[in-house]
Amino acid sequence: MLTEKMEAKLNEHINAELYSAYLYLSMSAYFKSIDLPGFVNWMQVQFEEEMSHAMKFFEFVDNMNGRIRLATIQAPPVEWESPVEVFQETYDHERSVSEQIFKLVSLSLEENDHATNNFLQWFVAEQVEEESSVKSILSKLKFIGDSKSGLFMVDQELAKRTVSTDTAPV
């Protein structure tokens, strides 16, 4: 059984994950507009993962006999100056999501909510992977600078990303 406070914070996080998905879908649209199909693919996979994360939280709240309460999702940005700016924002966003997860973990410990704490551990590990992956892409983009051939090579690499089948417990 979830405490009222834990339930409220998990519901906030469902909406945060939905915003993340919306943000990555918007970034995908930006990359479509500048004809970088590999970047489009990477962001669309990211969108699907974030939707999956939102649904895992959704199902967890329901499985714990909590009440799911959705709220308005803020509109994401739609324009960026460059792929570097997109991935800098992506990195900053993923770091913010990590902080949100860490706060949920701390709350689960304060509330002696071992089931929620156990559920959240998968997301803690997932965020380590997310931050590392995005930081690596950002570093490559900064390294290549204005090189069109370098951008083409990164685009080809990002085109290979597929949706992960790794699942979190619910």
Run of H or E including 19: helix 4-33
Beta-carbon contacts of residue 90 (< 8 Å; ≥ 6 apart):
24, 27, 46, 134, 138
In angstroms, what CA-CA distances link 158 with 32, 42, 131, 153?
14, 6, 16, 9
Domains of the chain by start residue, with CATH:
4-158 (1.20.1260.10)
Residue type for position 106 = S
pLDDT in tens, 111-143: 999 999 999 999 999 999 999 999 999 999 999
Q: Is 165 a residue whose pLDDT tops 70?
A: no
CA distance 41 to 23: 14
* Percent of the chain's residues with pLDDT above 90: 95
pLDDT in tens, 53-105: 999 999 999 999 999 999 999 999 999 999 999 999 999 999 999 999 999 99
Q: Is 36 a residue whose pLDDT tops 90?
A: yes
Could you tell me the pTM of the whole model? 0.94
In angstroms, what CA-CA distances link 61 with 7, 43, 121, 151?
7, 27, 16, 42
CB-CB contact of 154 with 140 (8 Å): yes
pLDDT in tens, 10-30: 999 999 999 999 999 999 999
Residue type for position 51 = M
